[in-house]
A and B are shown apart, each in its own frame.
Chain A
Amino acid sequence: GAVVSQHPSWVICKSGTSVKIECRSLDFQATTMFWYRQFPKQSLMLMATSNEGSKATYEQGVEKDKFLINHASLTLSTLTVTSAHPEDSSFYICSAPKTSGSGNEQFFGPGTRLTVL
């Protein structure tokens, strides 16, 4: 199956700093990628849709100036958590759809654990 990678797999930062998380589709191109956030014992919450060549679309309640998304190429989307605070500590997951004969299948990255001190 297709592979989606994320880097870093985990990061610890001080409050007030910015953190960049990369999401790459390794063996296919993705004009659209999705970013999710997951708190312990909870489901994945969609944050935004990353669109190659255009602005990201954010879900209601997600601050676009805090969570900057850049879809730099057909294989790379980045999520930057600006001025991170402890409440931003979470598990961030990206996904990318790949077209096959039976339609699109979503492939998820392994996730990035962010801890803000």
Chain B
Amino acid sequence: LAKTTQPISMDSYEGQEVNITCSHNNIATNDYITWYQQFPSQGPRFIIQGYKTKVTNEVASLFIPADRKSSTLSLPRVSLSDTAVYYCLVGDTNRDDKIIFGKGTRLHILP
């Protein structure tokens, strides 16, 4: 399982774009990159998943460079409700592999 490294915490303001970068130097060929969001006392919620280049959905964008050793989650125009912990996970989605969580990034949005 590829290890991931993220900033421990980040602060931003409402209306700003927030970019959270994750390093995964040992990513394997079959591994996908998945980001989850967790609010206090709730289970993690899927945000976005990608393999390479760029993926966009209604919530976020995920940028993955050609070497795939890192990825950046981009949250456009954040609001106070985006205050949460964000986890970057790497694994082979074609298998029922266990997911090992890293420390995540605690994002705090200020008014």
Residues of A within 8 A of B (CB): 1, 4, 6, 31-32, 34, 36, 43-46, 49, 91, 93, 95, 97, 102-111, 113
What bracket does the count of chain B residues touching chain A fall in?
Answer: 20 to 34
Whether B103 sits at the interface, judged by CB under 8 Å, is yes
Residues B99 and A113 in contact, CB atoms below 8 Å apart: no
Residues A103 and B43 in contact, CB atoms below 8 Å apart: no
Whether B100 sits at the interface, judged by CB under 8 Å, is yes
Q: Roughly how many angstroms separate A6 CA and B98 CA in the complex, as a whole number?
A: 19
Nearest Cβ in chain A — how far from B105, in angstroms?
11
Residues B99 and A104 in contact, CB atoms below 8 Å apart: no
Residues A107 and B99 in contact, CB atoms below 8 Å apart: no
Whether B15 sits at the interface, judged by CB under 8 Å, is no
Q: Which residues of B contact A109 (CB under 8 A)?
A: 43
Residues B41 and A113 in contact, CB atoms below 8 Å apart: yes
Residues B42 and A103 in contact, CB atoms below 8 Å apart: no
- For A105, the closest partner residue in chain B by CB is B46
Q: Roughly how many angstroms separate A109 CA and B38 CA in the complex, as a whole number?
A: 12
- Would A95 and B93 be within 8 Å (CB), given that A44-B44, A105-B49, A113-B41 are in contact? no
